[in-house]
Amino acid sequence: MRLEFIVNDKKRVLEVAADKRLIDILREDLGLMGTKEGCGEGECGACTILLDGKAVHSCLLVAAQMPGRQVTTIEGLEKNGRLDPLQSAFVEEVAIQCGYCTPGMILSAKALLLENPAPTETEIRRALAGNICRCSGYTQIIRAVERAAREGGADI
Amino acid sequence: MEFNMKNLKIVGVSHPIHDAEAKVRGNAIYTGDMQFAGMQYAAMLLSPKPHALIKSIDASEALALDGVETVLHCFNTTERTFSRFQKLSRQPGIMNQERVFNRELRQIGDRVACVVAETPEIARQAVRLIKVEYEELSFTTDVHEVLKGALAGMHPEGVSFEFEREMGDKSLVAQDCVETVTHSIMDRVSHAAMEPHACVAYYNKSMDELTIWSPNQGVFGVRTMIADLFEMQYHKVRVIKTTMGGSFGAKQDWILEPVAACATLATGKPVKVVYSREQVMLNTSCRAPYIADVKSKFTRDGLLQSLDIDVILDAGAYLGNTMAYIKYQSTLVPRTYQYPYARYRGQAVCTNGTTSGGLRGWSSGELCLFVEHNLNIVARRLDIDPLELRLKNVHMPWNKEMANNISLEEIRAKECLELGREKFAWDEKKQSDADFNLKNKRYQRGVGVSCGGHLNGYFPINFDFTGVEIRFTESGSAIVNVAVHDHGCGTVQAFKMIAAETLGLPVDMVWVAEGDSAYNPFDTGCYASRSIYVIGRAVKDCCHKLQEQLLQDMACVLSMPVEDLEIVDAQVRAKNDPSTCFSYTDAVHKILFTLQKEVSAKHQYKNTTNCGVMGTHFAHVEVDTWTGMTKILDYLAVHDIGKAINPEICRAQVQGAVVMGSGIALTETMHTNPKTGKSVSSLKDYHVMNAWEAPQVQVLFIEDGLTEGPYGAKSIGEASLVPVTAAIVGAVNEALQSDFCECPLNPDKIVALMQERMKKECV
Ligand code: FES
Ligand code: FES
């Protein structure tokens, strides 16, 4: 099928199979390798992207669901060479170890902050419940989200 | 030693890990992200049978598919066997039991065939077209059946391995002891590193050179095993360690590397293999299920006299590392408590279950659970507070352990316990739990404490040396060449910090290379908590050598006695003449142009110590006796870390270990169905704790900086997992006044226990 959609603010037109998974389209057709696959079944959250501003698992979506939609991947967060406040907060709060969960974690947090710019710890924990981090105990990640909410201002 | 703790500018200050910026941008390159021109993709067919012989394979339809390069299986690939656990050339005590593609399939998930094709989709599609005729063989997942003779012919060298040893002096055991026997069971556990296993390999036929990229823990081990398997010279195989999305021991066995090597050797094209989660769970490794019996003898006033430990470990289809695993476990037996005598007997038994491998702590967490559970029951019988019982028995500094008679040096077990008692409010919590439990029927609370002694490196079990090379660049920065394998927990950053601190440079003036068998000095791999303690120490010593070399060369350039020169703040200075002063870059240029020399140093370091490492953990839980759900209300981990090089990363690792160990205690199981031989192979059924369920974990470090490690550091990554499961299980048993130890203590088991109790009460 012919797929026309917006990825990281750019219009993309592709010829793909209707049942090709979004994660494969992003990684294989568009070379956006920041989106990671950890399970392929909606359980780990490593593949999380923003679809029209909401956090979703790109391993569970297929091309046929995508025409006209807006996708943001981790590569699309940096604006004019400046990291998103969430990205800087993750670095500064030492919220990154192996980093495999990081893109998905940041995008789930992004969706939360877009909707709720001043979340409580409980709200953050709930919003990140679909993203597994095997390296940390989530403490630094939660702190990073709190910091981004606090310091991010209009950039979020 | 005073120096260690003072005047440090970099060590002890929290830093993000070296590639954090790349990781937040999504442009850190993991193996699955690598691409080469002409790359081929491999897709695997794994065995659906727990035990079978392949009678025939018809790959014609798969081969006919457009874009398929080849189909590899047992009839067209090498019949030579390998051990996934080979780390050394001529390594004693390993068994070569696996082929790249086995003809006799010994577990569900064993490798049957692999399609190499132009795209991953074509490869996967072609896999479905392969026709295999199986001759089914009888199977079992029960170790007792195997010990009675089942599976006798499965491996020519036998299907089980036994190891027994005694330690200490039996005659010193006091008479009139209280004997307590406890029984523990642990189910299969998955490492569940978020990055699934992946490997890229390329064989350049004209050059006869094979290069392998994978997230592995030992490039020389992979090189050796691959070269031996395919009968190549070691210099013809180059292994490069890639960014690793977590290991926890999962990436210390070589599984995809032989597959990818086989595929590129067959095709002469670069080949990439990426496993799905299901393939990771079925065909890589897991932590073995265990059955353990512990018999302890205590004096009536609570002094430990002897431990008698019997374990049976279900190795799964291949022995892999299990023979080494149980031997290693025996050396851990005397590293926590001081007592006269121990006997350890371990049996590793092959079944048709998923093959086991090392998981973070390498048998230490399992042992800790078995022993600590016994201690909790003893405490109850002797009516001694569990924490008091531990205080009476833990090792004191400079005690010798009885497995190898080496000193535990500055082990701080007692301090850890005392600090924890205060900060966790142990006594207060016990009191308030007693009140709470009296008033509540449905919810019951309890506290648990556990002590887990661990190791730093192989010494004295195996030889433990490493090599490092460091050179100054002309701009005055330093390049450290060492076979380090960052698992994703910040070892590279820690090494950069150690080198920067020692050389007096800013951290980003140091570059640390990762594992590359073509260029690194030889090393045995990043296992056994040796990275910081052994390799990090070697880096520090090599920095000193580099500075000495710089002084000597400058003495030559300046025609001065070397004694008259010194290095202060990254400058070479004449002690008595402040005007003679060269920055590193100026000094390096002087030496280059005058002496025609590069300033570099080489160092080989042999570790000869293994100080005591202690973690004492405290858990407070609430069990819902109706649903069987356990909630962790509070958790404190205290570690005698020596010196935390990068403190926030150390804390994050401890917290991660607590979440992992809590999962192992309460929810995680790769349970194997005895009727089908199939283990849990999806994260839908394998429950890793998420941010919502994870407890708040407080972490305290006792830092004395008094070890042989760099700046006095000890191990932490593995040590932090050791006591967790035991602390949680102890707390649950305290809450329920029960004595069961069958991990995971999931709602099913807790509800069953409650129902049994109710039945008894009714009778
Ligand atoms: S890869 Fe999509 S949720 Fe795990
Ligand atoms: S940092 Fe490794 S999974 Fe989160």
- In 3D, which of B262, B216, B261, B222 has the Cα closest to residue B242? B216
Q: Distance, CA A124 to ligand 1 centroid (Å)?
A: 20
Residue B528 lies in a domain: yes
Hey, of B13, B17, B19, B24, which one would you mutate to test binding to chain A, going by the most A CBs within 10 A of its CB? B24
Here the CATH number for the domain that contains residue B265 is: 3.90.1170.50
Predicted local confidence at residue B585, as pLDDT: 98
Is B24's CB within 8 Å of A91's CB?
A: yes
Q: Is any ligand 1 atom within 6 A of the Cβ of residue A21? A: no
Is B17's CB within 8 Å of A137's CB?
A: no
- How high does pLDDT run on average in chain B? 97
Hey, of B194, B274, B276, B685, which one would you mutate to test binding to chain A, going by the most A CBs within 10 A of its CB? B194
| pLDDT band of A153, cuts 50, 70, 90 | confident
Is B489's CB within 8 Å of A97's CB?
A: yes
Q: Which ligand is nearest to the CA of A103?
A: 2
Residue B306 phi, psi (nearest 5): -160, 155
- What does DSSP assign to residue B250? G
Determine contact, residues B600/B588, Cβ cutoff 8 Å: no
Determine contact, residues B491/B534, Cβ cutoff 8 Å: no
Q: Which ligand is nearest to the CA of A23?
A: 1
- Domain end position, chosen among A15, A48, A76: A76
Same domain, B632 and B615: yes
How far apart CA A36 and CA A105 sit, in angstroms, is 11
Is A140's CB within 8 Å of B652's CB?
A: yes
Same domain, A151 and A89: yes
Q: Is any ligand 1 atom within 6 A of the Cβ of residue A47? A: yes
Q: Check whether A156 has a pLDDT greater than 80.
A: no
How far apart CA B449 and CA B336 sit, in angstroms, is 14
- Domain end position, chosen among B558, B584, B606: B606
Here the CATH number for the domain that contains residue A144 is: 1.10.150.120
pLDDT digit string (tens) for B458-470? 999 998 999 999 9
Q: Which residues of B touch A47 (CB under 8 A)?
A: none
Q: Is any ligand 1 atom within 6 A of the Cβ of residue A22? A: no
Here the tokens at position B383 are 């009516």
Q: Where are the beta strands (DSSP E) in B455-550?
A: 465-472, 478-484, 510-514
Predicted local confidence at residue B93, as pLDDT: 86
Cβ under 8 Å to A: B residues 173-202: 191-196
Does B663 lie at the interface with A, CB-CB under 8 angstroms?
no
Same domain, A55 and A119: no
Same domain, B41 and B19: no
Q: How far is CA B264 from the centre of its chain?
A: 30
pLDDT digit string (tens) for A31-57? 999 999 999 999 999 999 999 999 999
Q: Which of B25, B490, B694 shows the shortest C-beta gap to A97?
A: B490
Hey, of B646, B690, B696, B724, which one would you mutate to test binding to chain A, going by the most A CBs within 10 A of its CB? B690
Determine contact, residues B310/B290, Cβ cutoff 8 Å: no
| pLDDT band of B1, cuts 50, 70, 90 | very low
Residues 6+ apart with CB under 8 A from B582: B554, B571, B572, B573, B590
Mean pLDDT of B386-402: 98
- Domain end position, chosen among B238, B263, B283: B283
- Domain end position, chosen among B255, B283, B311: B283
Is A39's CB within 8 Å of B683's CB?
A: yes
pLDDT digit string (tens) for B300-315? 999 999 999 999 999 9
Side-chain half-sphere exposure of B749, counting CA atoms within 13 A:
21
Same domain, B575 and B676: no
Is A94's CB within 8 Å of B694's CB?
A: no
Residue B174 lies in a domain: no
Same domain, A119 and A143: yes
Same domain, A107 and A59: no
Q: Check whether B99 has a pLDDT greater than 90.
A: yes
Residue-by-residue DSSP string for B261-300: HHHHHHHSS-EEEE--HHHHHHHS-BBPPEEEEEEEEE-T
Q: Which ligand is nearest to the CA of B17?
A: 2
Is B683's CB within 8 Å of A141's CB?
A: no
pLDDT digit string (tens) for A62-71? 999 999 999 9
Residue B185 lies in a domain: no
Q: Which residues of B touch A137 (CB under 8 A)?
A: 652, 654-656, 658-659, 694-695, 697
- Domain end position, chosen among A23, A51, A76: A76
| pLDDT band of B245, cuts 50, 70, 90 | very high
| pLDDT band of B394, cuts 50, 70, 90 | very high
Same domain, A68 and A94: no
Q: Where are the beta strands (DSSP E) in B536-598?
A: 565-568, 571-574, 577-583
Same domain, B277 and B329: no
Q: Which of A34, A96, A135 shows the shortest C-beta gap to B27?
A: A34
CA distance B680 to chain A (A): 14
Residues 6+ apart with CB under 8 A from B283: B44, B46, B109, B110, B111, B255, B275
Segments forming the whole domain that contains residue A132: 85-155
pLDDT digit string (tens) for B484-511? 999 999 999 999 999 999 999 999 999 9
Same domain, B108 and B202: yes
Radius of gyration of the CA atoms of chain A, in A: 15
Is A129's CB within 8 Å of B27's CB?
A: no
Q: Which residues of A touch B685 (CB under 8 A)?
A: none
Here the CATH number for the domain that contains residue A70 is: 3.10.20.30
Is A138's CB within 8 Å of B246's CB?
A: no
Residue B699 lies in a domain: yes
How far apart CA B251 and CA B526 sit, in angstroms, is 11
Segments forming the whole domain that contains residue B49: 34-137+192-283
| pLDDT band of B5, cuts 50, 70, 90 | low
Same domain, A59 and A109: no
How far apart CA B15 and CA B295 sit, in angstroms, is 46
Same domain, B473 and B516: yes
Q: Distance, CA A46 to ligand 2 centroid (Å)?
A: 9
Q: Check whether B85 has a pLDDT greater than 90.
A: yes
Residue B184 lies in a domain: no
Same domain, B749 and B658: yes
Does B123 lie at the interface with A, CB-CB under 8 angstroms?
no
- State yes or no: ipTM above 0.90: yes
Atom 3 in ligand 2: which residue has the minimum CA distance?
Answer: A133
Q: Is any ligand 2 atom within 6 A of the Cβ of residue A100? A: yes
Q: Which ligand is nearest to the CA of A108?
A: 1
Q: Is any ligand 2 atom within 6 A of the Cβ of residue A138? A: no
Determine contact, residues A29/A4, Cβ cutoff 8 Å: no
Mean pLDDT of B339-358: 98
pLDDT digit string (tens) for A73-126? 999 999 999 999 999 999 999 999 999 999 999 999 999 999 999 999 999 999
Torsion of CA B235, B237, B243, B247, to 10 degrees: -110
Q: Check whether A149 has a pLDDT greater than 70.
A: yes
Per the structure, the count of domains in chain A is 2
Q: Check whether B4 has a pLDDT greater than 70.
A: no
Q: Distance, CA A58 to ligand 2 centroid (Å)?
A: 18
CB < 8 Å & 24+ apart, contacts of A17-20: A17/A63, A18/A62, A18/A63, A18/A64, A19/A62, A19/A63, A19/A64, A20/A62, A20/A63
CA distances from B298 to B337, B413, B487 (A): 12, 20, 41
CA distance A84 to chain B (A): 9
Same domain, A89 and A69: no
| pLDDT band of B3, cuts 50, 70, 90 | very low
- In 3D, which of B365, B645, B599, B611 has the Cα closest to residue B495? B645
Q: Is any ligand 1 atom within 6 A of the Cβ of residue A101? A: no
- Domain end position, chosen among A76, A100, A121: A76
Per the structure, the count of domains in chain B is 3
Here the CATH number for the domain that contains residue B537 is: 3.30.365.10
Q: Which residues of A touch B21 (CB under 8 A)?
A: 83, 91
Is A137's CB within 8 Å of B658's CB?
A: yes
Here the tokens at position B684 are 């839908």
Q: Check whether B2 has a pLDDT greater than 50.
A: no
Residues 6+ apart with CB under 8 A from A6: A12, A69, A70, A71
Same domain, B552 and B619: no
Same domain, B660 and B577: no
Residue of chain B nearest A49, judged by CA positions:
B26
pLDDT digit string (tens) for B173-200? 999 999 999 999 999 999 999 999 999 9
Determine contact, residues B524/B220, Cβ cutoff 8 Å: yes
Mean pLDDT of B408-424: 98
Q: Is any ligand 1 atom within 6 A of the Cβ of residue A130? A: no
Q: Is any ligand 2 atom within 6 A of the Cβ of residue A133? A: yes
Same domain, B321 and B239: no
Mean pLDDT of A22-33: 97
Same domain, A65 and A99: no
Side-chain half-sphere exposure of B60, counting CA atoms within 13 A:
2
Is A131's CB within 8 Å of B684's CB?
A: no
Determine contact, residues B488/B246, Cβ cutoff 8 Å: yes
CA distances from B502 to B302, B543, B710 (A): 47, 6, 10
Buried b (16+ CB within 10 A) or exposed e, B195-225: bbbbbbbbbeeeeeebbbbbbbbbbbbbbbb
Atom 4 in ligand 2: which residue has the minimum CA distance?
Answer: A133
Helix A102-115 and helix A139-151, axial crossing angle in degrees, nearest 10: 40
How far apart CA B111 and CA B197 sit, in angstroms, is 15
